[in-house]
A = this chain, B = another copy of it.
Amino acid sequence: MRIALLGCGVVGGDVVRLLHTHAEDLTARVGTPLELTGIAVRRLSLARDLPVGSAVFTTDAYGLATRDDVDIVVEVVGGIEPARSWLLAALHAGKSVVTANKALLATHGAELHDAAAANGVDLYYEAAVAGAIPLLRPLRESLAGDRVRRVLGIVNGTTNFILTRMDETGAGFAEALEEATTLGYAEADPSADIDGYDAAAKAAITAQLAFHTRVTLDDVYREGIGNVTAADIASARAMGCTVKALAIAERSPDTPGVSVRVHPAMIPRSHPLAGVREVFNAVFVEAEAAGQLMFYGRGAGGSPTASAVLGDLVAVARNRLSGRRGPGESAYADLPVLPMGRTVTRYHINLDVTDKTGVLASVAAAFARQDVSIQSVRQDGHGDDASLVLITHTATDAALSATVEELRELDVVRAVASVMRVEGGEL
């Protein structure tokens, strides 16, 4: 079984090392050796300490991906183009494809799946979501006889590290981000992580598998963690919660449709996701029959990602050897993706208020007018420092937004200091 590798950075290098180190095991598990036929790189001159001869390297990725002596193409380049063109060409040339490219799958997944189906080959991408954590295979195979209600994921290590530090040390966002950068957990330009783009791509891919419905990056509502303050974290703590950046995909309970979103949220400390610290990832799944499941592990890094790529590679190679393809795209349910306004959840609202009699009455009336029911309210401080912390029962995002608009107009409300969703069950 002859493999072409597109890209040879951190993940690609680890793929090469694993193929070499575990060659004997892989041969036994697949039934035939996995042979690395070629590696496409941008610069041939770069020194690489890898157990392969220099003859395997080429700068012609397109040529390699479509070469006659290649069976499976592994892509670890990332980004939309030229990866998209290379993989489409490979699929049309009858190669099976293993990729870790979440951005590509979340934007052009349908096109790639169609090409794989049309050519009777496999498209596998376990490494695209949550690195080494087996998630896609359990969703599309283990839970194939069940009905998934909701997926809550901590799928971005950078933001989870930052929020963990803020929670455990009381640091502010800027300080925690600086620490993440120093430790190499945040990139020089951290916006893909901080602003939730990375998590949104993973949410789209996960939602598609969980609900058998095509979901793209554009369908995902997205809020970053840049506005989470030390005060939010403290307020969460006061009510037995912690703040996590969550990727959420859920089936609407009352109308056919799914909601897919990425945003910071308060979750109870007793929730299994609350204990997921630093750069670890975890995905919590609620299914009708299986109940609550959680998958935990390292969501990024060269060797965990390479492990996921190799797992796919073994599966795809076995399929090819037996002359068939694995489960392809499943989009039969074709549910609508609901607009954010129709998403139903609970909210934590922190208001700076004047210290006058009747403040609570005015505030409560605003909630009532929008039909948003209040679960609890707490008044902190007095005088100029008075604040009101409210937790609502479930309400639509639209109703909550309208309530916040009304609150901003109230004389007794100086400012709406923060609004954060509350997820993960009863408090």
On A, residues with C-beta under 8 Å from B are 14, 18, 22, 25-26, 28-29, 126, 132-134, 137-138, 141-147, 212, 272, 275, 287-298, 301, 303-304, 306-315, 318, 322-325, 327, 330, 332-333
Contact = CB atoms under 8 A, between A and B. Distances in A.
Nearest to A147: B22
Dominant secondary structure at the A interface: mixed
B298 A142 contact: no
Contacts of A298: 290-293
Given A141-B314, A327-B318, A133 B293 contact: yes
Instruction: Report which residue of A126, A292, A301 has the largest number of chain B beta carbons within 10 angstroms of its beta carbon.
Output: A292
Nearest to A302: B289
A145 B290 contact: no
Given A28-B332, A275-B272, A324-B322, A142 B146 contact: no
A311 B144 contact: yes
A205 to B, nearest CB: 16
Contacts of A327: 318
- Copies of this chain, complex-wide, total 2
Given A290-B132, A304-B291, A307-B289, A314 B144 contact: yes
Contacts of A145: 18, 22, 26, 29, 307, 309-314
Instruction: Report which residue of A133, A144, A292, A304 has the largest number of chain B beta carbons within 10 angstroms of its beta carbon.
Output: A144
A266 to B, nearest CB: 19
A84 B425 CA distance: 43
A386 B233 CA distance: 46
A292 B28 CA distance: 24
A313 B315 CA distance: 19
Instruction: Report which residue of A26, A141, A143, A289 has the largest number of chain B beta carbons within 10 angstroms of its beta carbon.
Output: A289
Contacts of A14: 289
Given A28-B212, A332-B28, A297 B307 contact: no
Contacts of A312: 145
Contacts of A26: 145
A14 B146 CA distance: 11
Nearest to A17: B289
Q: Give 9 nearest A-B pairs by CB, closest first.
A: A145-B310, A134-B142, A132-B290, A289-B307, A134-B138, A144-B314, A293-B297, A290-B307, A294-B296
A134 B132 contact: no
A29 B332 CA distance: 8
A330 B126 contact: no
A28 to B, nearest CB: 4
Contacts of A146: 18, 22, 132, 307, 310-311
A162 to B, nearest CB: 20
